[in-house]
Amino acid sequence: MDKNSALSELKKEIEADKKLPLYGAANLVFGEGNSNTDVLFIGEAPGYHEDQQMRPFVGQAGKLLDKLLLAIAWPRGNIYITNIVKRRPPANRDPLPEEIEAYKPYLKRQIEIINPKVIATLGRFSLNYFLPLAKISRDHGVAQYYGEYILMPLYHPAAALRAGAVLKELESDFKKLPEILKNPPERKTLPKLETKKEDIQNKLF
Ligand code: URA
C-alpha cells in the first residue's frame, strides 16, 4: 500500500474510534502535507481555527510556522504537519496525559507510515512524547537520534508569539534544519535516548 492510502486508512480508523478522548467534542485534525517528506513536524493539539478548518497549524501559530518555513525556503507543501492529540481540547487547555496516551498509538503509526528522516517537535508536549525527561528550554535546537530518526526539538510557535526571546531562539533553531537534512549527522555513539546530561553531551549541532 502506498503512503497516502495507508494514511487514509489510518485516518478512517481514528475517525471510527469512539473510545478516543474528545471524540464527538471536536473535529478530527489528522494532519496534512507531503507524505513522502523528509521532515515531519509534530505539534501539540489543534486550536480553534484548526478545529474549524480541520487542518493543523492554520491559526496565528500556523502563520508564524509558515513564515519560518519560508525563511528556509521550505514550502509547506513539501513537509508534513500533524499533532500528538488530534482533536482540540476544550478552551485550548493543555492536552491531558490520558489524551496523549490514547492518541499515541495512532501517532506512532502515522510516523511509521511517513518514515521521515527528521522529526521536528514543536513545543514541550511533542518533545516529551519522545523524550519524557527532556526540557524544551535546555534541549531545543539540539538534534539527536531517536531510533532511525533525527529528532530536532523546537519551541512551539505559540510560545514564540508570546515572547521575543523565544522567537529568536526558534528562528535560529529553524535555520539549522536544512543543514541537518543536507548533511545528516553521523550517528556517533549515541546511546539510548532518555535525555540526561550525558545525552546532551552527544549533541550534534
Ligand atoms: N498548536 C498546535 O500545537 N497545533 C496546531 O495544529 C495548532 C496550534
- How confident is the model at residue 200, as a pLDDT? 44
Contact between residue 76 and residue 69 where contact means Cβ atoms under 8 Å apart: yes
62 DSSP assignment = H
- How confident is the model at residue 54, as a pLDDT? 98
Map grid coordinates 526540557 to a residue.
Answer: 135
Residue 131 clears pLDDT 50, i.e. is over it: yes
Residue 1 clears pLDDT 90, i.e. is over it: no
The rounded Å distance from CA 191 to ligand 1 centre is 31
Residue 204 clears pLDDT 60, i.e. is over it: no
- First and final C-alpha spacing in the chain: 36
Residue 7 clears pLDDT 60, i.e. is over it: yes
Q: Which fold has domain 3-181?
A: Uracil-DNA Glycosylase, subunit E (3.40.470)
Q: Is 141 in the pocket of ligand 1 (CB under 6 A)?
A: no
- How confident is the model at residue 205, as a pLDDT? 44
Q: Is 51 in the pocket of ligand 1 (CB under 6 A)?
A: no
**pLDDT (tens digit per residue) in 13-29:** 999 999 999 999 999 99
201 confidence band (pLDDT: 50, 70, 90):
very low
Q: Is 31 in the pocket of ligand 1 (CB under 6 A)?
A: no
The rounded Å distance from CA 205 to ligand 1 centre is 26
Q: Is 160 in the pocket of ligand 1 (CB under 6 A)?
A: no
Q: Is 95 in the pocket of ligand 1 (CB under 6 A)?
A: no
- Cα distance between residue 130 and residue 180, in whole Å: 19
**pLDDT (tens digit per residue) in 47-61:** 999 999 999 999 999
If one residue of 83, 88, 92, 161 were mutated to test the ligand 1 pocket, choosing by the most ligand atoms within 8 A of its CB, it would be: 83
Map grid coordinates 499533532 to a residue.
Answer: 83
Q: Phi first, then psi: give them for residue 178, nearest 5 degrees.
A: -60, -35
Sequence ranges of the domains in the chain: 3-181
Residue 194 clears pLDDT 70, i.e. is over it: no
Q: What is the mean pLDDT of the chain?
A: 92
- How confident is the model at residue 187, as a pLDDT? 80
103 confidence band (pLDDT: 50, 70, 90):
very high
Q: Could you give the residue ranges of the DSSP H alpha helices within 90-184?
A: 97-114, 124-130, 136-139, 157-162, 164-174, 177-182
Average the pLDDT over 150-165 and give the result. Answer: 97
Q: State which ligand 1 atom lies nearest to the alpha carbon of 157.
A: 1
Q: State which ligand 1 atom lies nearest to the alpha carbon of 61.
A: 8
Q: State which ligand 1 atom lies nearest to the alpha carbon of 126.
A: 3
